[in-house]
Amino acid sequence: MASPTRSDFPKFLDGDVLIIISPTQYYKLHSQVLSAHSSFFADQIGSEPGPRLTAQARRDNAAAYRFEFKRSLAENQFGEFTRVDINEAGRVVSPSKHVLMPDLENGKAADNTNRAWDWLFGIFYNREPVFDDSSLATVLSCVISLIECAESIGSLDHVRDVVDLALMRQDNVLWTSILGNPHVWIELGRRVRSPAIYSEAAIHLVGQWGTMTDEEKTRLSEDIRVILDRKAGELALVKEAIEIRILGHYPEFMRRSAVDKPGRPSYSSDIYMWMAVGFFRQWFSQNISDDRTRRAPDGGLNFYAALHEGGQAYLSHMDFQEFHKYFPMSIKACHVLEANMGVLKEDVKRFVDDLMIERTHLKRDEHEIHWLTCAKIEKEDMPWHKPDHTANPTDALQSLYNAMDDEQATMRSSGSADSGGKQKGRDSSTSSRPKKRARLDEDDGDYYDQSPSTLFVSPTGSDVMEE
């Protein structure tokens, strides 16, 4: 006949460690399991092994180790376990000097601490905890209690995945909460070493770093503050490099080769694009002067978004009408100039692609996010990561500057030729510049393109036709 006594969690008949939380809540667990999951129990059991129990004590399933939890009465302090000496008969050598706190609410403390011990020790035995997931607040209350218990016995590594999964199940509720209070969530993300939570909060903070007060920044732990300040500095350098690159950009077809010995007729064919470049750079420089770019309160979000959208998002038709008050042209010429500006705008879009990446779970189209969310949080940007060497904060920018040098080098080398009258890598008789442009035929007033496979821009500037 089977024994009526059931040996299972939380009270194993062969458990050799008795853990007492309260007068009515206790656990009888295995020392090997506890040592494998808790640095506290590993130290206690390893440094001073329990007594060699008598045969009668073993028949009575006595425990060789006894630990009692003492809750702290001080505010912001959790509590600790104290070890009680056991003799060979499995009995307490001397009674504990502290008084065990009684249970609350039928064995469940109001702050979830008592239940958290059940969740924590259950995790040691591969039992998934069941949290109250009726709201983010209740889940957060549960996981905070679990984290506090785990921290007190050195078991945080074994609960991180459980905590992370419980919070991730809240999905948009979690991300919305992080959006509203990233300061708190980045600390929790670091505490449980959750890359997803930490990164989400960090991206929002980096995007707002330039407008945050010193008081707001000091709310963060120093190690996190140093990391965010570095990431914000890196982003500022990236934005500066992009702006310099845009201001130095010329459409490819405007470039000339010295081998072709370009004269006035060659350059005059691109007069409308030269005017568009001049108008664009004046507008761009004014925005820099007025702090509407990287130094704007939104970190340049609106400015870069307009560049990325192109079209009528900036330098619209009304701006051209104002321009022509000082530089009047025929209606057809006005259309050509505006069409060339459209070609330039399309070129510029790609420069700000990286700034428009949204790396947060919540997107700007559905939520009020008035800052850039393009910061990329790498493994080495997480405070619990211990790198082998200190990374150079400007390394990530080298590719941008290299690209700028490559573009300028291409312009310089386009006019160089070898002794045989050939350009480097190609015959001098082959044109190296595309003919993508919007131009005006003085005879019939129509737009045309000199190459058979490029795009036309219609007089209205809205329709694109292919020859």
For every residue of 13-32, DSSP letters joined together read TT--EEEEEETTEEEEE-HH
Pairwise CA distance, residues 202 & 375, whole Å: 8
331: containing domain? 235-417
Residues 214 and 300 in one domain: no
370 found inside a domain:
yes
Whether the upstream peptide bond of residue 10 has omega within 30° of 0, thus cis, is: yes
In which residue ranges of the chain is pLDDT below 70?
1-6, 74-76, 95-111, 387-467
Is the CA virtual torsion 173, 174, 177, 179 positive or negative?
negative
Instruction: Please report whether residue 429 resides in a domain.
Output: no
Identify the CA nearest to 234 among candidates 4, 397, 361, 383: 397
Q: How far apart are CA 221 and CA 235, in angstroms?
A: 21
Please tell me whether residues 144 and 291 are part of one structural domain. no
What per-residue confidence (pLDDT) applies to 101? 55
pLDDT in tens, 71-100: 877 666 788 999 999 999 989 887 665 555
- Give the end of a domain, one of 394, 417, 440: 417
Count: domains in the chain:
2
Question: In this predicted structure, what is the pLDDT of residue 392?
Answer: 52
Instruction: Write down the pLDDT at residue 421.
Output: 43
286 in the same domain as 409: yes
Cβ contact 357:374 at 8 Å: yes
Q: What are the structure tokens assigned to 98, written together?
A: 């502290």
Contact 259, 428 (CB under 8 A): yes
User: If we measure between CA atoms, which residue out of 210, 231, 208, 170 comes closest to residue 383?
Assistant: 231
One domain for residues 217 and 163:
yes
Residue 274, in any domain of the structure: yes
pLDDT, residue 428, reads: 40
Strands 17-22, 65-71: pairing kind: parallel
Domain-located, residue 33: no
- Which amino acid, one-letter code, is at 383? P
Could you tell me if residue 147 is inside a domain?
yes
Q: What is the pLDDT of residues 103-113, one digit of tens each?
A: 544 444 456 88
| Pairing outcome for strands 439-440 and 447-448 | antiparallel
One domain for residues 212 and 337:
no
Same domain as 249, residue 356: yes
Whether 139 and 285 map to the same domain: the answer is no
Q: How far apart are CA 192 and CA 263, in angstroms?
A: 68
Domain end among 176, 192, 227: 227
Q: Amino acid letter at 429?
A: S
Taking a C-beta distance cutoff of 8 angstroms, is the pair 197, 167 a contact? yes
Same domain membership, residue 316 and residue 253: yes
First and final C-alpha spacing in the chain: 93
**Token pair of 429 as six digits:** 């008789």
The answer as to whether 170 is a domain residue is yes
222-247 and 182-191 are packed helices; what angle lies between their axes, rounded to 10 degrees? 120
Q: Please name the residue that has the structure tokens 């993300």.
A: 189
Q: Are 186 and 278 in contact, with CB atoms under 8 Å apart? A: no
Q: In what order do the strands lie in the sheet containing 79-84? A: 25-29, 17-22, 65-71, 79-84
Give the other-Cβ count within 10 Å of 142's Cβ. Answer: 21
Write down the pLDDT at residue 117.
95
Residue with tokens 């007025």: 290
Instruction: Answer with the one of 203, 227, 251 that is the final residue of a domain.
Output: 227
Please name the residue that has the structure tokens 């020392």. 31
Q: What is the DSSP letter of 157?
A: G
Cα angle 92, 98, 104 (rounded to 5 degrees) comes to 110
Classify burial at 94, counting beta carbons within 10 Å of its beta carbon; exposed 0-12, middle 13-18, buried 19 or more: exposed
- Please give the pLDDT value at position 63: 94
* Res 430: pLDDT: 40
Q: What does the alpha-carbon distance between residue 214 and residue 229 come to, in Å, rounded to a whole number?
A: 12
Query: Are 232 and 210 a contacting pair, CB within 8 Å?
Result: yes
> Residue 93 has what pLDDT?
86
| Sequence-ordered list of residues with C-beta below 8 angstroms from that of 46, at least 6 positions apart, any chain | 35
- Do 246 and 387 lie in one domain? The reply is yes
Two tokens, residue 33: 């399991």
Domain contains 443: no
pLDDT of 431 reads 41
Check whether residue 300 and residue 398 sit in a common domain: yes
Q: Are 438 and 251 within 8 A, CB to CB? A: no
Block residue for tokens 């910061």: 375
pLDDT at 5: 56
Q: Specify if 447 maps to a domain.
A: no
Whether 189 and 197 have beta carbons less than 8 Å apart is answered as yes
Task: Report the candidate in 32, 35, 12 with the shortest Cα–Cα distance to residue 155.
Answer: 35
